[in-house]
Structure formats: C-alpha cells, structure tokens
Amino acid sequence: MSTSSPVNGSPSVTELVSGIVGDVQNLGMQHFALFRHEVKEDVRKASDAASSLAVGLAVCQVGGLLIALMAVHLLAQLVPSLSLWACYGIVGGVIVVGGGIAVTLGIQKFKTVDSLSKQATDIIKDDARWLNQHS
C-alpha cells in the first residue's frame, strides 16, 4: 500500500486496517479456490474408479457366463456321476466367490478417494471463524 497520510508520511490506521481486510479476503478466496480444486480432483478420481469398475464388471459378466457354461459341461463330462444341476451349482458357487472378490476390490478402490481434503476443510473453517470474529 503506497498511500501516506499527509502528517508524517506513514499510512493511517484506516488504510492499514483496510489493507489487512483486503489481504484476508484475498487469502480466503485463494483458500476457497484451493478447496474447489481439491473437490474437483476427488470427483475426477471417483469418476475414474467408477468407470473402471463398470467396464471391468461388464467384461467379467460376459466372460464369466461363457466360462461358466464351459466349466459346467466339462465337470459333467469329467465326473459323470454328478447330475447337470449339481455341476451348475458347483460352478455357480465358484463364480459367486470370484464376484465377491471383485466387489471387495472395487470397494477398496473407492475408499482411497479422499472425499474432502481435511487440511483444506480446516483452513476454510479457520478463515470463516476469523472473518466472523473480525467483521
């Protein structure tokens, strides 16, 4: 701030306070911009995880169906004493276990997405508290 009071060449108290308020507002806007950026990044990560999960599940469903039908008939041929329905049950059970593993991995991937950065949230809260106290 380069404005000076005519008396002693130094800024007045009013000028200093308005400069501080302007700096605090600027800092608050910068913190808010950082917060918005982090939220956008978290949304992008969640979107990427959901896309990967959806594509993976669709491909696994088609492949799993074909492999399941093949495995059922292979089991029926290798163990002729098993009825066809028992072969379908055995193969279906194995597929359910594999599907459970895939779902668990997808859930773990979603857990790595930080919903809101704790540091950015704390900074915004501190700024809001300070502005409320000094307004």
User: Model pTM?
Assistant: 0.42
Alpha helices in the chain (DSSP H): 13-78, 84-111, 118-133
Q: What is the DSSP string of 30-51?
A: HHHHHHHHHHHHHHHHHHHHHH
23-38 confidence digits (pLDDT tens): 888 888 888 888 888 8
15-71 confidence digits (pLDDT tens): 888 888 888 888 888 888 888 888 888 888 888 888 989 999 899 889 878 888 999
